[in-house]
Amino acid sequence: MNLVRIKEERDIVVARSAAKKIAQEMGFGLVDQTRISTAVSELARNIYLYAGQGEVHIEADCNPRSGLRITFTDQGPGIADIKLAMTDGWSSVKSMGKGLPGAARLSDHMEIQSELGKGTTVIIEKWLPE
């Protein structure tokens, strides 16, 4: 399953498992599978918590290197200050503030686009070792 809709809390587990399965099929090792599934879990949880609903799109990509690209989109409130949101330990809800910076560390590439009142898109990439 390459597209997972996040509506309920249990959809977070569905997204995490789907990403892990695809990562395994693509040949990622166990450590990378766990990195990927942890990042997916955090970013899907953010969708659920802050936007209420959204989508996780998992795709195998070969450009410029073989890897996994996972896109998280929602039409929620957006993030006012992306740099602040990326700060380790910063949370608007007094949580740990580790989700976004953690996902960035676990990935090879991460980008965030967000517009207040419109929504948020987070893209992470994990590349296969050469």
99 part of the interface to Mg ion, by CB under 5 A? yes
DSSP 128: P
The CB-of-51 to Mg ion minimum distance in angstroms stands at 12
Rounded to whole angstroms, the Cα distance separating 18 from 92 reads: 29
DSSP 86: T
Q: Which two tokens stand for residue 94?
A: 């007094």
Q: What is the largest CA-CA distance in the chain?
A: 41
46 part of the interface to Mg ion, by CB under 5 A? yes
DSSP-H helix ranges across the chain: 10-26, 30-46, 82-85, 99-106
* Residue 50 or 127 with smaller CB distance to Mg ion: 50
* Contact range with Mg ion by CB under 5 A, out of 41-49, 51-59, 60-68, 109-117: 41-49
* Contact range with Mg ion by CB under 5 A, out of 9-17, 45-53, 74-82, 101-109: 45-53
- In the complex, the residues that contact ligand ATP under the rule CB under 6 A are 42, 46-47, 50-51, 74, 76-79, 85, 91-93, 95-101, 120
Which of 26, 30, 4 lies closest to 15, judged by CA?
4
**Residue number of the CB atom closest to Mg ion:** 99
The CB-of-123 to Mg ion minimum distance in angstroms stands at 16
